[in-house]
């Protein structure tokens, strides 16, 4: 089965055709098809392509957008009456890999 390693959102992902994964938020509507051009390496059967392929692209479909679980950031300095509490939810996009080529 062909696979590829792509780079998007400053992170690297191992992808295969038909696989669904969450990547950092992308500017595309749900249901739209996108092309990911941050391809680092690809393999089809026994032949591996060289790193950073210019002509090859990975096409994917945006399934949905969402936000991750809430993380609390809490700062405190004892005996100084200093406390700060802040929440954070990371945005993500769920994509389905259609083809590697």
For residues 30 and 79, what is the distance between their CA atoms, to the nearest angstrom? 50
What's the pLDDT at 42? Answer: 77
The ranges assigned to domains in the chain are 3-100
Q: Note the pLDDT tens digit of each residue in 11-51.
A: 999 999 999 999 999 999 999 999 987 788 877 767 666 56
For residues 3 and 17, what is the distance between their CA atoms, to the nearest angstrom? 7
What's the pLDDT at 55? Answer: 62
């Amino acid at each position: 089965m062909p696979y590829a390693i792509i780079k998007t959102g400053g992170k690297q992902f191992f992808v295969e055709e038909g696989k669904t994964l969450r990547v950092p938020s992308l500017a595309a509507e749900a249901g739209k098809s996108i092309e990911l051009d941050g391809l680092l390496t690809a393999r089809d059967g026994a032949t591996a392509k060289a790193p950073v392929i210019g002509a090859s692209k990975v096409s994917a479909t945006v399934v949905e957008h969402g936000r991750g679980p809430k993380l609390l950031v809490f700062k405190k300095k004892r005996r100084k009456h200093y406390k700060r509490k802040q929440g954070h939810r990371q945005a993500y996009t769920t994509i389905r890999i259609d083809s590697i080529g």
